[in-house]
Amino acid sequence: MNRDTGATFDRALVLGPGGLVGTAWMTGLAAGLRRGGVDLGGADLTVGTSAGAIVGALLATGQDLDRLAAPAHQPSPAAARHKVDAAVMGAVFAVLGEAGLEPGEARRRVGRIALDHADSDPDSDSDGEQALLAGRGALIGSNAWPPERQLLITAVDAVTGEPVVWDRTSGVPLVRAVAASSTFPGAEPPVTIQGRRYMDGALRSGANADLAAGARRLVVIEPLAHLFPREALEQQLAAVGAQTVVTVGPDPDAVRAFGSDLYDRANWEPAYRAGLDQATATAERLRTVWKTASGTA
């Protein structure tokens, strides 16, 4: 049944933002959990935001997670031109941290920063967007939405500041939806979909756990749990009203593996391995929660 009809889900998975290293850590964690008998790809509903959109697409389409332990994909010359602009990111976080600013207005201001940067940067052209799409396509390995699993991908319209949530009925190619959800201002250019430009879904509301409303059991994986306060997430979890909720953030070894730059490609393999290592203890927490009626996880 469609969630818009008031249907409920048994198992829901929410995957939050985390940059490049957060993507690697979540992929390693999911790979280790799968080896330990806990397949997160079996979720009835997956909500993917930013890094979580990439990993959500990997899981929901049944991809081989082990192939990303040491990813063969390397940035093309066009992709390599795009460097993280610390000044732009600083301006974005200054807006997001402004006390009393209405959320919609904050997103519109961030959108203006993102578009101004993209339009003034000679490297943020159509070739740059195509390079971004090619990179996301190489990561997730599929451009077809899962036909049976419900996958939701979040993004924000860079002009209006309005959040969007795409699924397989939206008419948006999966790779474009994932790319739009995971393009943070200052790191990568906005993505064009049906004549509009979109930016990172985390700008809606972090992990966007509220989109799992109606789930009976909920697992939330937060790569940035160690960096941000939990108040917003706690409010979202209260709105979901799940009977059982398990949240998973990076352990101290994973935080060290992340380093200080969430977009440092050199930290992909250490972050992936940290997720793989953390999966053993995490599997013990999730095995009973994730068990289906047939007794399998």
Q: What is the pLDDT along the chain (297 residues), one digit of tens a residue?
A: 333 434 478 999 999 999 999 999 999 999 999 999 999 999 999 999 999 999 999 999 999 999 999 866 544 434 444 578 999 999 999 999 999 999 999 999 999 999 999 888 655 556 778 889 999 999 999 999 999 889 999 999 999 999 999 999 999 999 999 999 999 999 999 999 999 999 999 999 999 999 999 999 999 999 999 998 888 899 999 989 899 999 999 999 999 999 999 999 999 999 999 999 999 999 999 998 998 755 667
Backbone angles phi, psi at 261, to 5 degrees: -120, 110
Q: Name residues whose C-beta falls within 8 Å of residue 222's C-beta, 6 or more positions apart in sequence.
A: 16, 18, 207, 233, 247, 248, 249
Structure tokens at 220: 């939330």
Global pTM value: 0.92
Q: Three-class SS string for 195-253? A: CEEEEECHHHHCCCHHHHCCEEEEEEECCCCCCCCCHHHHHHHHHHCCCEEEEECCCHH
Rounded Cα distance between 103 and 110, Å, is 10
Which of 13, 51, 9 minimizes the C-alpha distance to 33?
13
Residue closest to 176 by CA, chosen among 54, 56, 265: 54
pLDDT score, position 63: 96
Residue 5 pLDDT = 35
Select from 282, 208, 202 the least CA-distant residue to 18: 202
Taking CA 33 as the corner, what is the angle to CA 241 and CA 178, rounded to the nearest 5 degrees? 70
Structure tokens at 116: 């101004």
SS3 270: helix
CA distance readout (Å), 134 to 77, 78, 173: 12, 11, 13
Residue 293 pLDDT: 52
